[in-house]
Amino acid sequence: MSDLPFILFSLVAACAAIMVVTRAVPVHALLYLVVLLLSLAGIFQALGAPFAAMLEIIIYAGAVMVLFVFVVMMLNLGRTDRDRERHWMAPGIWIGPAILSCLLLAALCITLRALPPAAGPDTLVSIGPQAVGIMLYGPYVLSVELASFLLLAGLVSAFHIGRNIRGTVTGEA
């Protein structure tokens, strides 16, 4: 039987996710997303992954969400945007995606049911940062390199895409 914090965090996460996708104002959705990420961090902690939980809070809920907040600020959204967003979210639009999502969920649930029961003792062992670090810089050092490549590529392309904006601004100035 699951412990109480896990169930609570799970409920919060599910509700927050639903709220994120149904909000008309981006900032509201963003706040719910932060809630979702924090509750996920709690779940990670409950699942015995404290390092992941900390990273989730620091990098995801911290850095990435700040990026989103900056962008939302720069977009300078107003009442008209909110109205248009409401207009886009007419009830009819939801039917097709909802059916598809439910189908996917059903398929995933059936897959989960087919999983074999846990072979080992039904106890959770906390896996600390040390074990993760040894694994990371041991057999998985190549994936660290790949991640660094990916981040570098993201940096370069973001710079390239964003460069023209600055170019026009300086051009006008």
CB of 157 to another protein, least distance (A): 5
Task: Give the total residue count for the chain.
Answer: 173
Within 128-157, the residues that bind another protein by CB under 8 A are: 131-132, 134-136, 140, 143, 146-148, 150-151, 153-155, 157
What's the Cα-to-Cα distance from 17 to each of 32, 124, 139, rounded to whole Å?
7, 26, 35
Within 32-51, the residues that bind another protein by CB under 8 A are: 33, 36-37, 40, 43-44, 46-49, 51
CB nearer to another protein: give 114 or 173.
114
Question: 96 φ, ψ to 5°?
Answer: -60, -55
Q: Which amino acid is at 30?
A: L
Of 79, 123, 170, 173, the residue at the interface with another protein (CB under 8 A) is 123
73 in contact with another protein (CB under 8 A): no
Q: Are 33 and 16 in contact (CB under 8 A)?
A: yes
31 in contact with another protein (CB under 8 A): no
Q: Find all residues with CB under 8 Å of 18, minimum gap 6, and list them.
A: none
